Amino acid sequence: MKKLDLSLYLVLDPDLCGSPDGMVRTARLAAENGATAVQLRAPHWKKKQWLETARKLKAALSPLGVPLIINDQVDVALAADADGVHVGQDDLPAADVRRLIGPDKLLGVSVSDFSELAAVPATGVDYLGVGPVFPTGTKPDAGAALGIAGLGKLAAATALPVVAIGGIRSVHCGELLAAGVRGVAVVSAICGQPDPAQASAALAVALATALKTAPAACRLNAG
Amino acid sequence: MKKLDLSLYLVLDPDLCGSPDGMVRTARLAAENGATAVQLRAPHWKKKQWLETARKLKAALSPLGVPLIINDQVDVALAADADGVHVGQDDLPAADVRRLIGPDKLLGVSVSDFSELAAVPATGVDYLGVGPVFPTGTKPDAGAALGIAGLGKLAAATALPVVAIGGIRSVHCGELLAAGVRGVAVVSAICGQPDPAQASAALAVALATALKTAPAACRLNAG
């Protein structure tokens, strides 16, 4: 069973990265500088483009031991033999996705409130993406920001690892870990930054520093 | 092995049908009145909606022995246990789709010129959708119309069954069969018509009439 390290979870954005090859470059730089998981998300792409890019990402990330997670497109994940799938509330239901991908691939589900949390299947889901914590410009259809307090209440109500998402910068890592999350997902904090390698390294350092002072229950790799 | 009858192939359009339930109603009426295959195509839907509608269509069409074919979304086809998948040139490549769906489900590929025809895998594809034969309003990104002559040249260059698509009305059935196609795919000739049942029946009658006078090589169910 692969160790699940979601501490620094990069969600790629095709606009901020400039091109499919820009996404692959950004992903490689991030993975070489502390990112522990990478998600491909490109809602407006056709699937031929999805598959080509997923295969390039997989080739770049596998040697680094960093899992590639595909947003929404389960068929692309299967065709590219990606490491996992992440689905939102309007995508295929988690139970159907688990049936399609088999027992071994990662499955994450986006949750933004208690009602959505209650609908998460009791088995077959590996982690939750919870947000938006702060207002975000990279997902126009995201709901109102939860804030740290709202995030903490949701994280306390589930036994699943929680990855926080939405407007997160390195300065937030301490309070996010203290709120009980196991990882931070970022988009614009890495994608489109002048130096994605340096931006990734700064986030990784902030997480490591926060981890040293976090209560034991909040340790990133606990459990 | 299921007999493949593509003679009257309905492609559902969510706008013309008014709603997902309108699509299911239209599909049922068409299948009860001569349609031999139904494709679900909804490029702008999220997958939760895709899956819910695919399951309703499957429940409506299976008792009538009419296959449900899913456009583009292989994961939806697998989750709904649809009868087949249809892919265009920007979708997942046919060889990848065949690997995902296994040997038994139908697989169709859209082709609009000789270059695309040459790229169709030698095995694993069950039929080709060729068009647009005439100008069409329901697929804004379709290329220039082939005309009957262009369609006939493509159909003569492949051993696969050809389903013609693009602006087809019942009046065209005779010349399409004479051009060597095995079936006609329609969208607006059924979807959004005041009486989809009557429209379907009229197309079925036109096809049957055309078949009686078509050369043996063009018989709908030959091969």
Domain ranges, ordered by start, for chain A: 8-213
Residue of A nearest to B76 (CA): A92
Residue A109 Cα, gap to closest chain B Cα (Å): 14
Catalytic residue among A41, A56, A58, A182: A41
Which residues of chain B lie closer than 8 angstroms to A99, CB-CB? 79
How far apart CA B175 and CA B183 sit, in angstroms, is 12
**Which residues of B have a catalytic role annotated?**
41, 110, 139
Of B33, B14, B22, the closest CA to residue B56 belongs to: B22
Q: Of the candidates A74, A75, A92, which has its C-beta nearest B48's C-beta?
A: A92
> Residue A220 in contact with residue A7, Cβ under 8 Å?
yes
* Sequence-distant (≥ 6) Cβ neighbours of residue B99 within 8 angstroms: A79
User: Is position A138 annotated in a ligand binding site?
Assistant: yes
Selection from B13, B52, B58, B2 nearest residue B31 by Cα: B58
Digitized pLDDT (tens) for each residue of chain A, 223 residues in all: 456 899 999 999 999 999 999 999 999 999 999 999 999 999 999 999 999 999 999 999 999 999 999 999 999 999 999 999 999 999 999 999 999 999 999 999 999 999 999 999 999 999 999 999 998 877 777 778 999 999 999 999 999 999 999 999 999 999 999 999 999 999 999 999 999 999 999 999 999 999 887 655 444 544 4
Residue B118 contacts A, CB cutoff 8 Å: no
Inter-chain touch A48–B79, beta carbons under 8 Å: no
Residues of B marked as binding for Mg(2+)?
72, 91
How distant is the alpha carbon of residue B3 from its chain centre?
Answer: 15
Pairing of strands B162-165, B8-12: unpaired
User: Does domain A8-213 bear CATH number 3.20.20.70?
Assistant: yes
DSSP state of A192: T
With both helix axes pointing from N to C terminus, report the angle between A20-32 and A196-213 in degrees, rounded to the nearest 10. 40
- From the list B46, B89, B100, which residue is nearest A78 (CB)? B100
Chain centroid to CA B192: 17
Residues of chain B in contact with residue A91, where contact means CB-CB under 8 angstroms, are: 46-48
Instruction: Record the tokens describing residue A159, joined without a space.
Output: 């036994």
DSSP A66: P
Phi-psi region of A110 (alpha: psi -120 to 50; beta: other; left: phi over 0): beta
Mark yes or no for CB contact A90/B49 under 8 Å: yes
Q: What is the CATH number of domain B8-214?
A: 3.20.20.70
Rounded Cα gap, residues A136 and A187, in angstroms: 9
Catalytic option among A58, A139, A182, A200 = A139
A37 inside 8 A of chain B by CB: no
Q: B81 CB near a chain A CB, below 8 Å?
A: no
Contact between A57 and A28 (Cβ < 8 Å): no
What does the pLDDT read at residue A139?
Answer: 74
Percent of chain B with pLDDT over 70: 94
pLDDT tens for each residue of B92-123:
999 999 999 999 999 999 999 999 999 999 99
